[in-house]
Chain A
Amino acid sequence: MIGLNAGLEIARKALSAYQLALSVYGNNIANVETPGFSRRRPNLAERQAADLPVGRIGLGVDVESVSRMRDRLLDDIYRRQNAMSARYESMESAFSEIETVLGEPSDTGLGSAISDFWNAWQELANQPESRTARQVVADGATAFSQALNSMDARLQQMRANLDGEIVATVGQVNSLAARIADLNGAVVRGEVTGEEMCDVRDLRDRLLDELSGLVDIRVFEREDGSASVTMGSEALVERTNTVSVGLASESDGVIAVSRVTIGNGARAIRPAGGKLAGLLEMRDDTITDYQSRLDQIAAAIVENVNAAHRTGRGLGGETGTDFFDPAGTTASTIRVSGSILGDLSLIAASADGGPGNSDIALEIAGLRLSALIGDATISDYYGSVVGSLGVESSRVASERESQGLMLQEIENRRESVKGVSLDEEMANIIASQHAFEAAAKMVSVIDEMMSTLISTI
């Protein structure tokens, strides 16, 4: 037999359950803009029913638990995609910087400097006796050398900057890993009693998302609730322990670069995804590749111009002189020989020693038509360098865009599970409000019933 008191108890339970539900919905609304927040749901459950001869009668409602709405599979996909997208993002910005360094197409880029250099020789061929024309050659060659020097220096500077970014990124990886390990401890301790540590898990997931943008990680959740993180085949976080990512400074012959290592043995590793992979790829492969192509241009010009120049004669009949310093055959070291700059009459325009003969100047100007690098002329080769930069850069840009769209798509699917919808929360609130009002009404009904009974006494 159920008494009136039991009815009151049911109403009281309902009042407190819907009050609690309202605060969960309210919290959802309050956190609608909070990054990393996953919406919560109060799990309502009927209380243990009383066994009566007429059947089982429910004894009201309880909030059994409050849980996060989250899809772990989508989290995994998101993180994998995030690593890819972040890699292209860091590459795209580096590529567009390389494009700025080359500065093509324009009338001031290296292409024009090369044309000006050849044309200066033609100008000298027009007036081999003239000091002015010799000055034009010296200036043209100096401008061309300096263009190469400064391009190489800017690329080198880019590498140094990327190295700085790599160091900073490794620092971020370590600090994120440490915080995740801490949160693992909090989750494990907190969930011993059975309830889900929603806020801590949200924070941990947000840090994992962030980490996935830096390096390619895989996350496995253990039974105790802790998240194990691996990077490639290397463990990064295991329960509350972390393996730290290290840096080993070494010289690659030009500048000091930091190699990424892991663990106490300082094994060198190369992350396959994330911002760090993009930075390493740009620093160690892409930029050095463009530098070596500029080196090839420098070497081809120095060697061939010098070879032709040595056969010619200066105004005083001097022969066998090098026009470019033969020691400088790279983009960073190419320069006009000091003795030429000191005495412009040494510029050997003449084949026979006559000051009006300009066959050597014409021969040097004619080098622009010769295949000096493989089967390409200097200008063809430079065109192909700029062309391949354009192709690579636009490939990376469109890759970044499509990876970004895919990331956006996955984020949408994830958001569809975990995100807060104000409309939905409002509807829930209204439903809870009505339930609360009805339960309150029930209290007053039972109150009246009790009054009725009491007044009859």
Chain B
Amino acid sequence: MRVTSGMVRQGIINNMNSALARLQLSQTQIATGKRVFKPSDDPASISRSINIRALLADTEQFKRNIEDGLGWLEHSEAAVDDMSDIVTELKEIAIKGASDTIDAQERTALGEQVEMLIQRLADSANTRYGQRYVFAGSYTLTKPYSKSPEVSGEAFAVGTTGWTELANPKLVSASVVVRGPLGEVRTEGVDYEVDYALGRIRRLAGGGMVAGASYSVDYSAETTARVVLNVPDTAGEVNREVAQGVRQPVNVGGEEILSSSVDAFSLLVRVKNALFRNDGGTVNQALDDIDAALDQVSAGLGKIGATSKSIDLASARLESEAVNLKGLISSLEDANLAEVAVKLQGEQYAYEAALAAASNILNTSLINFLK
């Protein structure tokens, strides 16, 4: 084949260009530490790399979910721990209160202590994590429990003119309102009289109230008369996704801990009232219920502990999974520096050789040898 100077020159330019292009690619790979810059750099692994990135993003998110779930569980656990202490204290008080060796005054003092326990139990049951009430089921923005001294519509069956005990003692003076069957308000001192300290009421002979008819009483007690639940229920689950498609409830409903078998708040109110009324027998009867309440709280504590442990494990697993995924992405996209450095060296030699050859060939011509 006939070779012309143009062909030689074009060949040299092409070879230098491609040698330089290879050199530049290796140089970029070393400078950035990356091997894949665009999908066509490695079409075989790009889909995998995209999927692994999505998995990694999921994993990082699961870690954040678990962190939040653990915070939630820790707050719940501390609160349920308190509840367990409160019920244990109640038991101690109840054992004292049931004993025959103490008098009315001492029982009243114990009753005051129980009143404080009611406050503490309500506070625990209203524990918040951030802005959220942890025991309110899914109604996390509503304070689930509130104490009330008010009673309205307690039935009062008028029999003889003897005393009828109301549910609560220690009533706020002049707070009692009695209504008849038609809703008409009866007059205190004319129709009936009230023993505010002991929480008793009786019909006055000569008044307008009729034996056998049913009346309702509204009053305020000086201490807690009842604790009301402000949300429809506390069964709603608060879920965290802790692994691909795995939803873990991280809350325990207030009702599950406090009223699934025994209603702890009414139990406390009952014991407190019995103590105020110096009624050791009723206190004694409540002991079984107190044990049941303790079991109920302990069961909740156990459940929270188990959940914490299981998502703690999940978190450790995610940690190592994230490391693996990052390693995979790196192996798919990153340059092997040692390998590229060796390649770069070779390519540099090739380029220099191409330049040297070019300088020799381009300078050689028949003209050099003609005189």
Q: Number of contacts between A and B (CB, 8 Å)?
A: 194
| Given A115-B53, A123-B64, A390-B42, residue A417 in contact with residue B138 (CB < 8 A) | no
Contact digits for B233-262, partner A, Cβ 8 Å, 1 yes 0 no: 000111111001101000100000000000
A387 contacts which of B43, B53, B136 (Cβ < 8 Å)?
B43
B41 to chain A minimum Cβ distance, whole angstroms, is 8
With the chains together, A334 CA to B47 CA distance in Å? 24
Whether the pair B5, A129 counts as a contact (CB closer than 8 A) is no
Whether the pair B365, A369 counts as a contact (CB closer than 8 A) is no
Stretch binding the partner chain, chosen from B32-40, B117-125, B166-174, B178-186 = B32-40
With the chains together, A102 CA to B49 CA distance in Å? 14
Q: Is A75 an interface residue (CB 8 A)?
A: no
Contact digits for A338-361, partner B, Cβ 8 Å, 1 yes 0 no: 000000000000101111111100
Q: Is B99 an interface residue (CB 8 A)?
A: no
With the chains together, A38 CA to B3 CA distance in Å? 14
A386 contacts which of B14, B47, B68, B247 (Cβ < 8 Å)?
B47
Q: Is B48 an interface residue (CB 8 A)?
A: yes
With the chains together, A95 CA to B10 CA distance in Å? 28
Chain B residues with CB under 8 Å of A387's CB are 39, 43, 46-47, 50
Stretch binding the partner chain, chosen from A151-159, A169-177, A185-193, A422-430 = A422-430
Whether the pair A416, B4 counts as a contact (CB closer than 8 A) is yes
With the chains together, A23 CA to B51 CA distance in Å? 70
Q: Is B57 an interface residue (CB 8 A)?
A: yes
Whether the pair A379, B64 counts as a contact (CB closer than 8 A) is no
B40 to chain A minimum Cβ distance, whole angstroms, is 4
Whether the pair A366, B245 counts as a contact (CB closer than 8 A) is yes
Chain B residues with CB under 8 Å of A444's CB are none
Q: Is A122 an interface residue (CB 8 A)?
A: yes
Stretch binding the partner chain, chosen from A40-48, A50-58, A391-399 = A391-399
Chain A residues with CB under 8 Å of B111's CB are none
A397 contacts which of B40, B241, B366 (Cβ < 8 Å)?
B40
Chain A residues with CB under 8 Å of B40's CB are 95-96, 99, 389-391, 393-394, 397
Q: Which residues of A contact B (CB under 8 A)?
A: 32-33, 95-96, 99-100, 102, 104-105, 107, 111-112, 114-116, 118-119, 122-123, 125-130, 350, 352-359, 362, 365-366, 368-369, 379-380, 382-384, 386-387, 389-391, 393-394, 397, 408, 411-413, 415-417, 419-424, 426-427, 430
Q: Which residues of B contact A (CB under 8 A)?
A: 1-7, 10-11, 14, 36, 38-43, 46-51, 53-54, 57-58, 60-61, 64-65, 68-69, 130-133, 136-141, 231, 236-241, 244-245, 247, 251, 333, 365-367, 370
Known: A355-B141, A390-B46. 11 other contacts (CB 8 A): A118-B58, A125-B239, A356-B141, A369-B245, A379-B51, A389-B39, A390-B38, A390-B42, A412-B7, A415-B6, A424-B4
Q: Could you show 5 A-B contacts with beta carbons less than 8 Å apart?
A: A99-B39, A116-B57, A126-B64, A390-B43, A391-B43
